Amino acid sequence: FRRVLFRSKVWDLITRIDAYPSWTRWAVMSGQLTVGGALDCRVFLRKRKGGSRPVTLPTEIVEVASGHRFAWAMGFAGLRFVQDFEVKAEGRGTRLIHAIEVHGPFSGLLGPRMAIMARRPSEGLLEDAKRRLEGGVRPKPVMPPKPKTPRYLPRPVRRGRR
């Protein structure tokens, strides 16, 4: 089952950054959609033991080509990620293309590790966008897994020494 989606509908979804919390659980953003404009951005990165943790990074809009391309950069001078979204008409439908680039002097050292951590949130963002555009419901928030053991375990009872 596939729906034919208009380019404008896909474009509206990815560029209404204040509405991200209404359709995705992987990013919370606010700000203006202007090149060079700062965004307040919180991304949820995957933990090794499951769950996720919020990370807040300085973020700015680096490209806006109306109805076609949108990109933001996050990070610091030594390590910077550029997330790029491109909307293309394809046949009777629309294709959303997403890419992440890593820049900076530390990109060779830390880039691969950070790319692994950012992979699941990026895939989750795209899955949530697809679900929303196809008329699905909003996903549940990202929550850490419930512990298998209770937080409080009674101390073992010691019997007298012999």
Burial tier of 19 (Cβ tally within 10 Å: 0-12, 13-18, 19+): middle
pLDDT of residue 79: 80
Q: Token pair of 161, please?
A: 């020494």
> Is residue 19 helix, strand or coil?
helix
Q: Nearest-CA neighbor of 121 among 34, 36, 29, 31? A: 29
Written as six digits, the tokens of 61 are 């809009």
What percent of the chain is modeled with pLDDT above 90?
9
Task: Tell me the pLDDT tens digit for each residue of 110-162.
Answer: 667 766 767 777 888 888 888 888 876 665 555 555 555 555 656 666 776 65
pLDDT of residue 1: 32
Structure tokens at 12: 């509206």
- Does 71 have pLDDT greater than 70? yes
The pLDDT tens digits of the residues spanning 8-56 come to 888 998 888 888 888 888 888 888 888 998 888 888 776 666 666 788 8
Closest to 75 in 3D by CA, of 85, 86, 62: 62
